[in-house]
A and B are shown apart, each in its own frame.
Chain A
């Protein structure tokens, strides 16, 4: 059974800093991995999707890397802004169709 761990659980930093959020998963036999953000009481917004054959994906200030063999992914946020405050979730997709989620990193960017 896939288990996903996200570190840190919470992070509070002043705006402008570059951040790294970490995700590790126990079963490396995955098809892809998605990063999401979730605002309080809301659904999920897909940020990046990395296929198992890829090493990284970039979208704007976000960059996600994937080391499938070691079961790790990182989300890099450049020049953080208060609007980036949210919970960030990583979710690898294994043999089954559904995603397995970590508990997320609760991020607060101080103005």
Chain B
């Protein structure tokens, strides 16, 4: 149980285009999902917290107009990188928080999406 999927697993795009990444909780409902970014040999950094049915909360330094987050259902959150540039190339990972049972507050992570902007 507690499986989180991401799609696509990798994407290559031209500079200036927009890219949408999906994060799904497959076997549980998640009112809260999180988006992280990981640059090579660096720590994962939280970008934003996504709550179902409300606006996302962005971390300091993360442009909300550039990284659009939509959490329309209890099992799906999307991250759209708008007008992507080479410096946006990174590994994007989502996580979902399990609410029920003994694993309350535990976060389960998706497999990540490798974005390369040419």
Contact residues of A with B, CB < 8 Å? 4, 31-32, 34, 36, 41-46, 49, 51, 89, 93, 96-104
Partner of A102, one of B34, B43, B49, B112: B43
Let me know if A41 and B114 touch, CB within 8 A.
Answer: yes
Known: A101-B43, A103-B43. Contact between A46 and B34, CB under 8 A? Answer: no
> CA of A100 to CA of B114 in the docked complex: distance in angstroms?
21
> CA of A109 to CA of B62 in the docked complex: distance in angstroms?
37
Let me know if B93 and A44 touch, CB within 8 A.
Answer: yes
Question: Which residues of chain B are within 8 angstroms of A98 by Cβ–Cβ distance?
Answer: 34, 36, 46, 49, 59
Could you jot down 8 A-B contacts, CB within 8 Å? Answer: A44-B95, A44-B109, A46-B108, A49-B103, A49-B105, A89-B44, A97-B34, A101-B44
Interface size range of chain B in the complex: 20 to 34
Q: Among residues 87 to 118 in chain B, which have CB atoms less than 8 Å away from a CB atom of chain A? A: 91, 93, 95, 97, 103, 105-112, 114
Beyond the given A46-B109, A99-B95, please list 4 additional residue pairs across the A-B interface where CB-CB is below 8 A: A36-B109, A43-B6, A98-B49, A98-B59
Question: Which residues of chain B are within 8 angstroms of A41 by Cβ–Cβ distance?
Answer: 91, 112, 114
**Chain B residue at minimal CB-CB distance from A49:** B106
Contact residues of B with A, CB < 8 Å? 4, 6, 32, 34, 36, 42-46, 49, 59, 91, 93, 95, 97, 103, 105-112, 114
Let me know if A96 and B109 touch, CB within 8 A.
Answer: no
Question: Which residues of chain B are within 8 angstroms of A89 by Cβ–Cβ distance?
Answer: 43-44
Known: A43-B112, A97-B97, A98-B49. Contact between A31 and B44, CB under 8 A? Answer: no
Let me know if A97 and B32 touch, CB within 8 A.
Answer: yes
**Chain A residue at minimal CB-CB distance from B42:** A103
Nearest-neighbour CB distance to chain A for B60, whole angstroms, equals 9
Nearest-neighbour CB distance to chain B for A99, whole angstroms, equals 6
Top 9 nearest A-B pairs by Cβ distance? A98-B46, A44-B109, A43-B111, A43-B112, A101-B44, A101-B43, A49-B106, A43-B109, A103-B43
